[in-house]
Each structure stands twice: as structure tokens, then as C-alpha cells.
A and B are shown apart, each in its own frame.
Chain A
Amino acid sequence: MKIKDVNELQKYANRIRQGVIKAVYSAKSGHPGGSLSIAEILAVLYFNQMNIDEKNPKAKGRDRLVLSKGHTAPALYSALALRGFFDMDELSNFRNINSNLQGHPDMKNIPGVDASTGSLGQGLSIANGMALGSKQDSEGVRVYCICGDGEIQEGQIWEAAMTASHYKLDNLCLIIDNNNLQIDGKVNEVMSVYPIDEKFKSFGFETINVDGHNIQELISAFEQAKKVKGKPTAIIANTIKGKGVSFMENEASWHGKAPNEEQYKQAMKELGGVL
């Protein structure tokens, strides 16, 4: 399944957002802000870039995605459901005791999830291991890893950045969801991580800055990353936390709370979704 039409992909991004709101509203908890900011990134990866098969979720040689910012699982689950890994209706059971859809991604029990994440800062190392594994067997797998901008405050990210560069993991593509906000407020006020691109460049990455909500720019960046040889790529995607829902946009308070009924209806209306 490879959708090339930009408008069509934008529709998928929007449907991912609807799924996010539905999941978080149903669970009465979860993390909408950072889920909404990665909707285009996931739409492009799951519907344009990644070589995956929803009928064979564990297929050898498939591309991998590690959602290192695991709390934005609603976006990942929404993308996976849209791609056909499981039923869309299952999103309503997010975080429910009888559902497999755990609060954070669980690779053991959720089809399409390639890595269990949630404790921030750990995903890039896992992605590196996958990239190394692919290189050992010349499997030609591309490994994608999505980190939050706040997340890169974790020291392990920089250990992993050294590793990716040292072992020349050119099949690894890191995406930083640079939405500028974290739980306690603005990233540059809590603990500045900037300049992100310069930091990764100095660690040996090819870096590409994009508008993380621009489908065409994202596609071009991923295509460019595939051509990079001998080093990993970091795409710094400038995004808006809460993107697509007016009252959630650029509001740190929407990092980890669920909308009430009224807010849910408003959000779905703005996203053109069905209640």
C-alpha cells in the first residue's frame, strides 16, 4: 500500500487524529498533544514509506518503527488500525483492562508494534540494535525511530546517537517531533535541548529540518534520508503540539489529559470526524 497523493495522505493524517481523540476520550486518559503532532509523520511512514504487510505483521525484512515517545501510542494505534493491523473499533478500548491496547506500545500483544516503549529515552538504542541486526544479515530493512524533543533530555539518547554514528547506521532514520512543549511547559524553559539539528550534526548525523505537518516535505526528507550513506539521518520535524484541535494547539496542559464530552465533540467536529 503506497499512497502517493499528498491530499490523500493528508486525509489519512486527519483520520489518525480522529482515532487519537476517540481513543483518549474513550479511555478518559492518555496523551493527545504529542499524538496529534505526529499525525502527518505517521501517515507518511505507514501509507507512503514503510515496507510492511498488515497480513503478516512479523514479516522478515519488513521496515521497523520504534515509537520512542511511547506515550503517544494513540497515534501509533490509530495509524496501525487504519493500515489494517487491527479493527478501528478497538481504539475505543484503549487502556481498557480487557484490551491489548496498553497505555504504552506493547510489541508482544499488539500487531504491528515493533518495540515496547514508554520509559523515555530508550527507543533510539532499540532502533540502533534493529539497524545493526539488518546490516548483519543484509536484510535491507529501514528502521525509523520517533523521539520527542523533550525526550532527548534523556542521556541515553546521546549514548545512542554516538552508537548510530559510530556503527554508520545509514539504514536508521530518527525523527524528532519538535513541538516545543513538555509536561512542565516550554522545552527551552524546562531544559533547553536546542539547537537540535546542530547537536545531532555534531554527533555525526545527516540532519534535515522540515515542517512536520507538510506531507510533501516529509516525503522528500525520507527519500533524501534513503540516499545518505555511511551515517544515520535525523529529521527534525517542526510541529505543533495538539495540532488540528484548536483548543489543544500549543497548550502544554494537553500533554496528558483526556477531553470531556463537550471537548470531544468539539475536537471531532474540527477534525471532521464521526462521533
Chain B
Amino acid sequence: MEENKKIATRQSYGEKLAELGEKNENIVVFDADLSGATKTSIFAKKFPERFFDMGIAEQDMMGTAAGISTFGKIPYVSTFAMFASGRAYDQVRNSICYPKLNVKICATHSGITVGEDGATHQMLEDIGMMRGLPNMTVMCTSDDTQTRWAVEEISKINGPVYLRLCRLETPIIYKENEKFEIGKAIQIGDGTDATVFATGVVVSEAIKAKEKLEKQGIHIRVVDIHTIKPIDKEMIIKCAKETKQLISIEDHSIINGLGTAIAEVLIQEYPCKLTRIGIKDEFGRSGKATELLKHYGLTAENIILQIGGKVNE
């Protein structure tokens, strides 16, 4: 993990999308007046004839993307996670998922790490809403390398995808040649004292915790679940069998998110205890992203405490 080289997944998305636009001329991009923030502006500058600003009208944007996809286009649709999943839920459900249309919803500014904008813009329920939809693939990437891979990979599958992206700059975790596969979680380390299942922006916190715990003689593993649906059942069961303690961490509500998805697998396949770290059924608040992560316990320190390690070493 390169702690000094940080980049937000929204930035990786925007850059990769513009690159992908060259390779695949069927890609068209929609945004709802937030292209500067979602970084679709990079694509827009390069391919103005394939970029559609829909104004502040997310419901219409989803429907329009549904329509154009029936002409063989691959629309990448971006806005903040709040509006992509919340404002336009009915459209995503009925206009896109029900007919299984090939629409890629790339939602930025997810989670508490939106920061200063506060509760109205901190989407904490989107994983739950999106993974509940039949036909939908749900992804939440953790770093630059993985995001760039995902942006291209999702163009190759036929059907709707929700890719959850972040505003906060986070460390680069993976080398450029790392191999990923949709639906296959990444196991980092093979410690047996605990497994920390993580997704998105907090994967780097889990890795930090792992490194600190190692110095204390506690050996854990981190499992980066970039695909929340379909979830990697085999990996979850394997880790439940091999490790003494299970923890999940996500920048999302503990209701219906990653922790819940893991619990659903465990309760049916290998019942055991799971500690879920996330936002505990409450709205967020304004503050710096790093302050908020600390406030809500989405940190390496909290993971260390949960595993019984010491935080001051």
C-alpha cells in the first residue's frame, strides 16, 4: 500500500472513463450537472458528442440512459450516490433493472466521507437499496488500480451495474498488474486471528490495522469485497472456518450493507459471530472526512480495539 500516493476513486473513474471512450465508441456518458465533481467532465471534454448533461434531473437521466441502451449504447451514468440511488430509485428499479438494461450507474460521493456537505449528501443506504434489486451487480472499489479495472470490466458484462465511488483520497493498494474478477474478493494476508471484511474507502484502514497488529503479534487477514453482489460466498465461508474472529467494516449503514450481506451468507452456511462496523442507524454530520471516519469509528484504531490489540504502539 502506498500511503503517500493518494487518489480518490472518483478521479480514477473519470480518467479511466475518458480512456475507455477511445477504445469503445458505444460508450456514452450522462451526468446531472455534477460533471466537475463526478469527473465525467474529462470524458465530456474529449467526446462532447457522446456526453449528455441532463441538468438537475436524475430521474429523467436514468430513464434516458435506459432508452439509449436499447440502441446498443453503453451509458455510464453519474451523479452523487444520494441522487443516483435515492432520488432515482424507482427509475433504476423499473426502467433499468426490471428489463435488465445495460446501464452502468457510477455513483460518486458515497458514504460519510463526503464530509463537509453533511447528512443530506452522505448516502449511507445505497448498497442496501441497490443490492436488493434483481439483475443488478453492485460494486464498491477500494483504490485507484481496482477502480480503473472495474470501469472497463463492467462495460463487458451485459446488464445494470451500480459502481459506488468516493470523494475522499485514499492510498493506492494494488499494483497495476493485480488481477481482479467480478464476484471474487481479494484476500490480503493469511493470518488466522481475525478476518476483516472491508469494502471501498475503508479497505486501506483495515490494511493499516493489519500492519499495526502484526507488530503486536496478532495476525489477521483483510478481505477486500469489491463486488457486494454477487458476493463471494466461498471466501466468506473459508475465512469463517480459518479465523477466530470476523469483523466487517464499511462506510455505509450497518443495516443492509456489506456486513448484512456477509451475515446473510454466514447465518445460512456457517453460523458464527460477526462484528459489524459501520454507521449505526443514524444520519451523518458535517466535518472533515478524516474527522468523520474517526467520529463514527471507521478507522484502523477501532478495528484494532475490536480485535483486542493496543492502539498506541
Q: Using CB atoms and an 8 Å cutoff, list the residues of chain A in contact with chain B.
A: 64, 66, 106-108, 114-119, 122-134, 136-137, 139, 155-156, 159-160, 162-163, 166-167
* Of the residues A106, A134, A136, contact of B99 by C-beta under 8 Å: A106
Residues A167 and B59 in contact in the complex (CB < 8 Å), given A116-B98, A137-B71? no
Q: How far is the CA of A11 from the CA of B171 in the complex (A)?
A: 70
Does B65 contact A129, Cβ atoms closer than 8 Å? yes
Please judge, given known A-B contacts A129-B65, A133-B70, whether A108 and B99 are in contact too, CB under 8 Å.
Answer: yes
**A125 touching B91, Cβ below 8 Å:** yes
Q: Which residues of B contact A108 (CB under 8 A)?
A: 99-100
B73 in contact with A125 (CB, 8 Å): no
Contact B59 A156 (CB under 8 A): yes
The answer to whether B70 touches A125, judged by C-beta atoms less than 8 angstroms apart, is no
The answer to whether A130 and B63 touch across the interface, beta carbons within 8 angstroms, is: no
What per-residue 1/0 map shows which CB atoms of B50-91 lie under 8 Å from chain A? 101011010111111111111111010000000000000011
B110 to chain A, nearest CB (A): 23
Q: Is the CB of B94 within 8 A of A162?
A: no
Cβ proximity bits B98-109 to A, threshold 8 Å, 1 near / 0 not = 111000000000
- Please measure, in the bound complex, the distance between the C-alpha atom of A118 and the C-alpha atom of B90, giving whole angstroms: 11
Q: Are A107 and B66 in contact (CB under 8 A)?
A: no
Is B168 engaged at the interface, CB distance under 8 Å to the other chain?
no
Docked Cα-Cα span, A21 to B60, in Å, equals 34
Interface centre among B54, B62, B63, B94 (most CB of A within 10 A): B63
Shortest beta-carbon distance from B134 to chain A in Å: 12
With a CB–CB cut-off of 8 A, which chain A residues contact B260?
A: none
Question: Roughly how many angstroms separate A128 CA and B54 CA in the complex, as a whole number?
Answer: 11
Tell me the nearest residue of chain A to B58, going by C-beta: A159
- CB of B59 within 8 A of CB of A159, answer yes
Q: Are B52 and A167 in contact (CB under 8 A)?
A: yes
Q: Could you tell me the dominant secondary structure of chain B's interface residues?
A: helix
Distance in angstroms from B101 CB to nearest chain A CB is: 9
> Bound state CA distance, A173 and B276, in angstroms?
52
List B contacts of A134 (CB < 8 A): 71
A180 CB → nearest B CB, Å? 26
Q: Taking CB as reference atom, which chain B residue is nearest A108? A: B99
Complex alpha-carbon distance, A76 and B61, angstroms: 26
Let me know if A116 and B99 touch, CB within 8 A.
yes
Q: How far apart are A136's CB and chain B's nearest CB, in angstroms? A: 7
Residue contact B67 to A163, C-beta cutoff 8 Å = no
Chain A residues in 8 Å Cβ range of B90: 119, 122
User: How far apart are the CA atoms of A159 and B91 in the complex, in Å?
Assistant: 13
* B187 contacts A by Cβ under 8 Å: no
Tell me whether A162 and B55 are in contact (CB under 8 A).
yes
A64 closest partner in B (C-beta): B70
Pick the contact of A119 from B54, B60, B94 — CB < 8 Å? Answer: B94
With a CB–CB cut-off of 8 A, which chain A residues contact B75? Answer: 129
Q: Is the CB of B28 within 8 A of A136?
A: yes
Contact B52 A133 (CB under 8 A): no
**Contact A133/B67 with A118-B94, A156-B60, A163-B57 known, Cβ cut-off 8 Å:** yes
Contact partners of A118 in chain B: CB under 8 A? 94
Residues of A within 8 Å of B64, CB to CB, are 125-126, 128-129, 132, 160, 163
Q: Looking at the complex, which one of A137, A155, A160, A162 makes contact with B63 (CB distance below 8 Å)?
A: A160
Asked if B60 and A130 make an inter-chain contact with CB atoms under 8 angstroms apart, the answer reads no
Which residue on B lies nearest to A134, using beta carbons?
B71
A122-B63 contact in complex given A136-B71, A159-B57, A163-B57, C-beta closer than 8 Å = yes
Please pick, from A64, A125, A162, the residue contacting B66 in the complex, using a CB distance under 8 A. Answer: A125
B residues near A160, Cβ cutoff 8 Å:
60, 63-64
Query: A114 to B69, alpha carbons, bound, how many Å?
Result: 12
Can you report 27 residue pairs joining A to B where beta carbons are below 8 Å apart? A108-B99, A116-B98, A125-B59, A125-B63, A126-B63, A126-B64, A126-B66, A126-B67, A129-B64, A129-B65, A129-B67, A129-B68, A133-B68, A133-B70, A133-B72, A133-B73, A134-B71, A136-B73, A137-B71, A139-B71, A155-B59, A156-B91, A159-B59, A160-B64, A162-B60, A163-B57, A166-B55
A131 to B71, CA, bound (A): 9
Q: Is the CB of B67 within 8 A of A130?
A: yes
Chain A residues, CB < 8 A from B28: 136
B95 within 8 A of A: yes
List, in ascending order, chain B residues with CB within 8 A of A124's CB: 63
Docked CA distance A134–B67 (Å): 10
Q: Are A130 and B68 in contact (CB under 8 A)?
A: yes
Cβ–Cβ < 8 Å partners of B69 in chain A:
129, 133
CA distance A17 to B158 in the complex (A): 38
Using CB atoms, name the residue of chain A closest to B60. Answer: A159
B59→A126 contact, CB < 8 A: no
Q: For residue B68, which residues in chain A have a CB less than 8 angstroms away from its CB?
A: 129-130, 132-133, 136
A66 CA / B64 CA spacing, docked (Å): 12
Q: Which of chain B's residues have a CB closer than 8 A to the CB of A125?
A: 59-64, 66-67, 91, 95
Kindly list chain A residues whose C-beta atoms are within 8 Å of the C-beta of B72: 133
Nearest residue, chain B, Cβ from A145: B67
